[in-house]
Structure 1
Amino acid sequence: MIDLRLLREDPDRVRASQRARGEDVDVVDALLSADERRRSSSVRFDELRSEQKALGKLIPKAAGDEKAALLKKAGELSAAVKAADAEQDEAAAEAQHLLLRIGNLVHPDVPLGGEDDFVVLETAGSPRDFAAEGFEPKDHLELGQLLGAIDVERGAKVSGSRFYYLTGVGALLELALVNAAIAQATAAGFTPMLTPALVKPRAMEGTGFLGQAAQDVYHLEKDDFYLVGTSEVPLAAYHMDEIIDADQLPLRYAGFSPCFRREAGTYGKDTRGIFRVHQFDKVEMFSYIAPEDAEAEHARLLEWEKQWLTSLELPFQVIDTATGDLGSSASRKFDCEAWIPTQGKYRELTSTSNCNEFQARRLSVRMRDGKNVRPLATLNGTLCAVPRTIVALLENHQQADGSVRVPEVLRPYLGGREVLEPVAK
């Protein structure tokens, strides 16, 4: 959540951020009103309690009519204190509810607009010219079927649309990707983590996934658990309600977990193959750091993602995501989009977000800096979302006979295999 002091001091900045996101601006004024009511009712409660305590000292010394009058006054004060306390609690609850509806403040350099208004920051590598090589590229699903690697028909039979099996070399390819990604992250100083896939409501809400993203979240109502859509959630909540000494920062974790997304509102979009699915595995980087170092850490996370995609020998571009396409917790987000030959365009493979203090305030994760205790900053970055990475690998490294060349970085994790060969025609 944002800092309430900032809201009081500069409400126009918060209104501008909400407007840039395409979100409700009126909630800012509603929150200011609720906050004022909370503060005034708190003052009123303190005044009444003080008067009540002073009166309580007078009653034992009084007698007769004076004591009766004081007792009557005490009864009236008791009722007034209860009413002020209730009003204080009600205003505080309303303020908290409204505060949770306000997204993180957008970084001033983020481009304005919606999904298509991103800015390309750089391009790495060049797409292959398949025509010059004399053949038409196959899409990832056709290649996956030739390799005996992907089975979406039985995935749909067992679980429904947008589910799949990775079989044979497909399963081995996932394990190779995960191991290679974890190896890179570990070499960069990240602590590997296997995280829970089920979390309590506070963890999901604290990371900002029960606001605008709630429609994509699976909720197990009977047990009141949520299935995570990313290990960012359990990693952000790992230090919930803790104070971390500044000399321990940065803390960097690389989480591997299954991820679950309803993909609400995307029906008819990316329905072929495994590009957009309901369940997948992912390696996620996550950093806890001092707020003043957050922008530099964001740049580092992006460099690690670029290093990963370069090692996979994939052509890609880096974009600065526009305001209307940011998650509620991100102040800025960079995406790395790999070239998908059969789609003829770049598609998101990884992303990294700077959430500065937003998640830490909601989850009560703080740092002790000398005598001061203050919120720290959190950042996240996808290193390897497995299905999409497999899509990009198969399509970009395919050969005319339907085989697929294996990038060198993955070969040690595939028994030295240099080429994935078709098993069916």
Structure 2
Amino acid sequence: MLDIQYIRRHPDRVQKAARDKGISFDVQDLLEVDERRRQLLGQIEELRAQRNQKSKRTPTLQGEEKQLNIAEVRQLNERIKGLEDELDTVKNRYEELMLRAPAVPFDDVPVGESDADNVEVRREGQAPIFSFPVRDHVTLGEMHDLIDIPRGVKIAGSRMYFLKNEAALLHRAVIQLAVDHLVAKGFTPMIVPVMVRDRAMFGTGYFPLGKEQTYVIPEDELNLVGTAEVPLVSYYADEVLSEEELPKRMLGISNCFRREVGSAGKDTRGLYRVHQFTKVEQVVITRADGDEAMRLHWELLHNAEELLRLLELPYRVVEVCTGDMGQGQVKKHDIETWMPSRNAYSETHSCSSFLDFQARRSGLRYRDGDGQLHYCYTLNNTAIASPRILIPLLEVHQQEDGSIHIPAALRPYLGGREWLRPKREVQE
């Protein structure tokens, strides 16, 4: 959520942000509703003052003059009630529009319509050149008895799967590697609720926009989260922190659920776009200091890059354009890891800065050394997400005979194993 005073001062910037992000939002509509809201508040306050003044006089009056004063108080109450009813309607509309107002991206964010317009920042590692036909992770999964998609679909529908044998162990290994790596850097590990109330979804900016991507449990008024960012940012909702305890570095470990609405026909083979996955999420809550927030943004991005280097995977970093950003993001980088079967770098990590957008919606504040209250700034970044990361892990490290090399960083979690050997031949 933006500060309404900022919107009043910079309506053109907010409208441009909506246009550049592809969000349907009319800032003039908000300003008109805001103006009527303020008018009603002023009128109600003035009428209440008149009523209170007359009410105080009533005991001092006698006879007809007293009855006339009582009638005037009654009339004022009726006028106040009518204005309050209108104010309730206007306030509901005002809050609805405020929740749709987009955060304004930094000036250096590239303007574009989709991920095709993201700008490459750098590449790390070399994409492998194979002297044999490349197998995708589904074929490798069949050879090694690692992945069972047909039975996942049979039981749970499209975009579902089973991870078996070493794939289940690899999944746990990459998760634990990420946790150990970041706990050593001072992050607090947290197993979080994956069912949350609407308040948490609105507070983090996943409602009202994006609600169609959420699995909703209406009977219990709960929602399945698509990222641990939601419960972690909400952890301190409506609380006042002290400046001395910031920044807070938290590490969420959770299952995640996304409906993938609008993805019909996209990435239907394999594990790239699925409804259920596990993610280790970095979340930082910090002071309202732009320079410090950007230092933390680079820190989170660096942490994710370190993990990819430990997994011995080539990747590239891209700066995300306006059209590929969310409503609340002001700066965003994606990491795209090389996936041989796609012959492309594909997204595996995202790093986002929100300034005070989420904190305002969540009521998350801190008190500085002078006793002044400020809204916090929030940031988040994917440390690892599985099973998507298993795609490059299996494909990049495959050998001509179908065996798969295990990166050294994962071996302690796999009993020291260096190789996965095929269990069966697959007709190719």
SS of 2:186 mapped into structure 1: coil
Q: 2:110 — aligned with what? A: 111
Structure 1: state its 5+ residue gaps: none
Aligned-partner residue type, residue 374 of structure 2? R
Structure 1 distance, partners of 2:24, 2:143, is 49
Q: 2:248 — aligned with what? A: 251
Q: Does 1:226 align with 2:235?
A: no
Structure 1 distance, partners of 2:180, 2:173, is 10
Aligned ranges 1:371-410 → 2 under 5 Å: 371-410=371-410
Q: 1:269 — aligned with what? A: 266
Structure 1 distance, partners of 2:144, 2:366, is 50
Q: 2:13 — aligned with what? A: 13
186, 190, 210: which one pairs with 1:189?
186
Aligned ranges 1:35-184 → 2 under 5 Å: 35-115=34-114, 116-130=116-130, 134-184=131-181
Q: What displacement does 1:20 show?
A: 1.1
Structure 1 distance, partners of 2:393, 2:28, is 49
Q: What displacement does 1:24 show?
A: 2.5
Q: 1:238 — aligned with what? A: 235
Aligned-partner residue type, residue 283 of structure 1? V
Q: 1:420 — aligned with what? A: 420
Aligned-partner residue type, residue 120 of structure 1? E
- What CA deviation, in whole Å up to 9, does each residue of 1:86-119 have, x standing for no partner? 2333222211110001122112111101221110
| Equivalent pair of 1:244/1:367 in contact (CA under 8 Å) | yes
Structure 2: state its 5+ residue gaps: none
Q: 1:357 — aligned with what? A: 356
Q: Number of residue pairs matched?
A: 421
Structure 2 distance, partners of 1:340, 1:213, is 28
TM-score, normalization: structure 1?
0.97
Q: 2:208 — aligned with what? A: 211
202, 205, 213: which one pairs with 2:199?
202
| Coordinate RMSD, CA, aligned | 1.0
- What CA deviation, in whole Å up to 9, does each residue of 1:302-350 have, x standing for no partner? 1111111111111111001110111112111100000111111110010
Structure 2 distance, partners of 1:216, 1:57, is 56
Q: 2:2 — aligned with what? A: 2
TM-score, normalization: structure 2?
0.97
Structure 2 distance, partners of 1:92, 1:25, is 17
Aligned-partner residue type, residue 91 of structure 1? V
Structure 2 distance, partners of 1:275, 1:7, is 39
Q: What displacement does 1:16 show?
A: 1.4
Q: 2:22 — aligned with what? A: 22
Kindly, what percent of the aligned residue pairs are identical? Answer: 41
SS of 2:389 mapped into structure 1: helix
- What CA deviation, in whole Å up to 9, does each residue of 1:241-280 have, x standing for no partner? 1111010001011111111111111111111111110101
Structure 2 distance, partners of 1:64, 1:75, is 17
Aligned-partner residue type, residue 10 of structure 1? H
Structure 2 distance, partners of 1:25, 1:158, is 41
